[in-house]
Amino acid sequence: MRLGLLTACLPGESLDDVAAWAGSHGYRALEVAAWPDLPGRDWEASHLDVESFGAADAARVRDLLAEHDLEISAVAYYENNLHEDEQVREATHEHLRRCIDAAHLLGVGLVGTFVGRDVSRTVAENLRLAEEALPPLVAYAAARGVRLVVENCPMEGWHPDGYPANLAYSPELWGWMGDLGLWLNYDPSHLVWLGIDPLAALEAHVDRVLHVQAKDVEVHPAARDRYGVFGQVLDRQPWVSGWWRYRVPGLGEVDWRRLVDALYQAGYDGVVSVEHEDPVWSGTRERVCQGLTVAERTLAPLIVG
């Protein structure tokens, strides 16, 4: 097992700078963000320009990572593959195919994404939509030696009422995902605030886990008693529940000692990738890197390379 980080937390940095920092601060892998570089989307990172990515680009990236004793665990593009606007949905699929192509050139076997949801349809209708839309993407990836790993984030901020907008949030759906050829990028933080035991969920589905994201969550039960599990309603803000927030590993509710041990017991030998979305350790590059250092100091003692 190796410790990595998702580069999306440093959107203003070059891949060269992120690799240099990570390699000198105890990290051994990068989950490389590859969102399209579009005007006005400065909250998402584009550390790989997959739209124009060729063999020479792949060679340069491989040399860069080797220089810092790093590997790429996955190419990351977490977007809504069932978006209600068909043009947006197709553009998302097209960019995902470019991410798959880049992963193939890099010799990386995983691309991370979401299932998503058309918020104008019922869950049942979305399941049927996914069964039509996603298998061709799975087949495209398989033909290039790549598998799609789906993070189990509810993406409640995509729904106008804060309900799950990524049909991978519940362990009930992970078998259905498997039937579509999708694999799991397991993140325990989301399960905690949903009231699901992350260890029990992992042990029941560890055979579907090809990648792990390490994010923690801080829960305030008194605030939950006020707002309920779906979060604040009056003066609601997207992505703000009012009773929980994400933290870097070690500063929340997840028992990382038991979770990493369960991964070892199951024979998992992949990457545990820190996904830094901690509002306390954010705002500046220095604060983000300090948060990543907290995460490394929490997880590195548990991971035997």
Task: Give DSSP secondary structure letters for 165-192.
Answer: -STTSSGGGHHHHHHTT-EEEE-HHHHH
Does the pLDDT value for residue 301 go beyond 60? yes
DSSP class of residue 251? S
| Rounded mean pLDDT, 48-57 | 96
Residues 6+ apart with CB under 8 A from 76: 6, 7, 8, 31, 32, 33, 34, 111, 112
Does the pLDDT value for residue 285 go beyond 90? yes
The pLDDT-based confidence of 43 (bands split at 50, 70, 90) is low
The pLDDT value recorded for residue 202 is 98
Asked if residue 114 lies in contact with residue 153, where contact means CB atoms within 8 angstroms, the answer is yes
The pLDDT value recorded for residue 39 is 63
Look at the chain and report how many structural domains it folds into: 1
The pLDDT value recorded for residue 38 is 75
Question: From CA 153, how far away is CA 36, in angstroms rounded?
Answer: 21
Does the pLDDT value for residue 40 go beyond 80? no
Does the pLDDT value for residue 250 go beyond 60? yes
Does the pLDDT value for residue 100 go beyond 90? yes
The pLDDT-based confidence of 41 (bands split at 50, 70, 90) is low
Q: How many residues does the chain have?
A: 305
Asked if residue 168 lies in contact with residue 150, where contact means CB atoms within 8 angstroms, the answer is yes
Listed residue (227, 219, 165, 166) closest to 196, CA to CA: 219
| Rounded mean pLDDT, 225-230 | 94
Question: From CA 23, how far away is CA 174, in angstroms rounded?
Answer: 33
Does the pLDDT value for residue 305 go beyond 80? no
| Rounded mean pLDDT, 122-131 | 98
Listed residue (41, 55, 133) closest to 94, CA to CA: 133
Residues 6+ apart with CB under 8 A from 172: none
The pLDDT-based confidence of 304 (bands split at 50, 70, 90) is confident
Mean pLDDT of all residues in the chain?
A: 96
| Rounded mean pLDDT, 116-139 | 98
pTM tops 0.95, yes or no: yes
The pLDDT-based confidence of 184 (bands split at 50, 70, 90) is very high
* Domain enclosing residue 269, as ranges: 2-302
The pLDDT value recorded for residue 20 is 98
Asked if residue 30 lies in contact with residue 61, where contact means CB atoms within 8 angstroms, the answer is no
Does the pLDDT value for residue 137 go beyond 70? yes
What CATH number corresponds to the domain at position 171?
A: 3.20.20.150
Residues 6+ apart with CB under 8 A from 245: 217, 218, 279
Question: From CA 153, how far away is CA 269, in angstroms rounded?
Answer: 22
Asked if residue 3 lies in contact with residue 274, where contact means CB atoms within 8 angstroms, the answer is yes
The pLDDT value recorded for residue 37 is 84
Does the pLDDT value for residue 44 go beyond 90? no
Which residue, chain included where needed, has tokens 């008194």?
222
| Rounded mean pLDDT, 22-26 | 98
